[in-house]
Amino acid sequence: MRDIDIMNEYTLEEISEIVGGILTKVEDVKISRLGPPLLADANTLALALNEDEIENLSKTKAKAALVPIGVTSELISTIEAERPRLAMMKLLHLFYMPPESTAGIHPSAVVHPTAKLGENVSIGPNVVISRNVSVGKNTKILANTYIGRSVQIGENCLFHPGCNIGDNAIIGNRVILQHGVSIAADGFSFVTENPNNVENARQEGNVKEDNTDQKIYKIPSIGSVVIEDDVEIGANTCIDKGTIENTVIGEQTKIDNLVQIGHNCKIGKGCMIVSQVGIAGSCKIGDRTVIAGQVGMADHIEIGSDSIIMAKAGITRSFPEKSILIGAPAVPRKEFIKHMKTMKKAEDLVNKFKDYEHLLKD
């Protein structure tokens, strides 16, 4: 908890102006915290963004609440917001406490003499900065992070503890890497002397049994990873470097925890990739595409811009822009619904058949 003497306090008028809301004031109150209605006290702004929380306002101890447009209360002050979640984001920035970082370079950090550090850079305990690295001004690299050789890092970045950045990666401005992110590890790329089972299955439709002595050879990755401006990457996510060209993550893209992005992938701008997604090598994802949790994507697939891939979908082929995909193997949403209706009709037919089956036997 933040100490009371360093708490920020805001009037309702100040908060309403920050979020661009409509204030209906019942009484004066200073706001020093945010919280749900049932956990709020007199100095907490209750966040009532949905129907359940709005109902809880009748039980709250708060004297003020953030609510959607059209919601008012005679008992407490309200700030109506057209986009309550956007308003909440602005308020959370007011009360957010950034992680503590070292002023300058921590004594336990190892920084190669050829590295170039910008103004006001923070290098935490046990950080390793390899040769020919450049770090832009105001960037914070927290404890136990490794930066490989010739990596370029932009300004105002924040790398949380335990990140690993491989050689030659290029990272833009205002990039956030959460705990344990891996950037530019070798891609999962191998080759055999003779066609392997997967190749045979693709070409001939069956698996041969004469590959018992097959040797598997690693294909080295000499590309790297480019992460453009304003990207955020969640904890323990892995982005592999390209085999020859670079893997690219477009600007403003946000990636959740535990995501795997394979070698040579090109992820567009403004994409949202949710937890436990696996994207195989050489895929191309268009701008502003949303990929929900646990989606699996085969290699060399292209998804057009402004598409939505629903949770647990299995993507086995390419789709054009503005596709909404569901199922495994994935199909367009309208086609999926059609299939489900057909299956329901088939079930009804089977049940009807059972009613008359004895007549057929007779």
Residue ranges of domains in the chain:
4-95, 110-332
CATH placement of domain 110-332: 2.160.10.10
Active site includes 263? yes
Separation between Cα atoms, residue 27 and residue 59, nearest integer Å: 18
Cα–Cα distances in angstroms (integers) from residue 66 to residues 27, 50, 197, 207, 301, in the given order:
15, 11, 59, 61, 44
Question: Stretch 264-289: mean pLDDT, rounded?
Answer: 98
Is 159 in a helix, a strand, or coil? Answer: strand
Which range, 5-14, 211-220, 288-297, 351-360, is most confident? Answer: 288-297
List the one residue out of 269, 204, 186 whose CA is nearest residue 230.
269
pLDDT over 90 percentage in the chain? 77
Question: Stretch 180-198: mean pLDDT, rounded?
Answer: 90
Number of Cβ within 10 Å of residue 155's Cβ equals 18
Confidence of residue 215 (pLDDT cuts 50, 70, 90): confident
Is 60 in a helix, a strand, or coil? Answer: coil
Query: 346 phi and psi, to 5 degrees?
Result: -65, -40
Mean pLDDT over each residue of the chain, to the nearest integer: 92
The one catalytic residue in 112, 263, 300, 358 is 263
Place of tokens 């009037």: 11
As given in the structure block, the two tokens for residue 286 are 């268009």
pLDDT tens-place string over residues 135-161: 999 999 999 999 999 999 999 999 999
Amino acid letter for position 21 = G
pLDDT tens-place string over residues 14-65: 999 999 999 999 889 999 999 999 999 999 999 999 999 999 999 999 999 9
The pLDDT, as a whole number, for residue 7 is 64
Separation between Cα atoms, residue 74 and residue 77, nearest integer Å: 8
Separation between Cα atoms, residue 157 and residue 222, nearest integer Å: 25
**Choices 3.40.1390.10, 3.40.50.12710, 3.90.420.10, 3.40.630.10: CATH for 4-95:** 3.40.1390.10
List the one residue out of 156, 151, 160 whose CA is nearest residue 121.
156
| Least confidently predicted of 54-58, 93-97, 185-189 | 93-97
Query: 39 phi and psi, to 5 degrees?
Result: -105, 5
The pLDDT, as a whole number, for residue 1 is 35
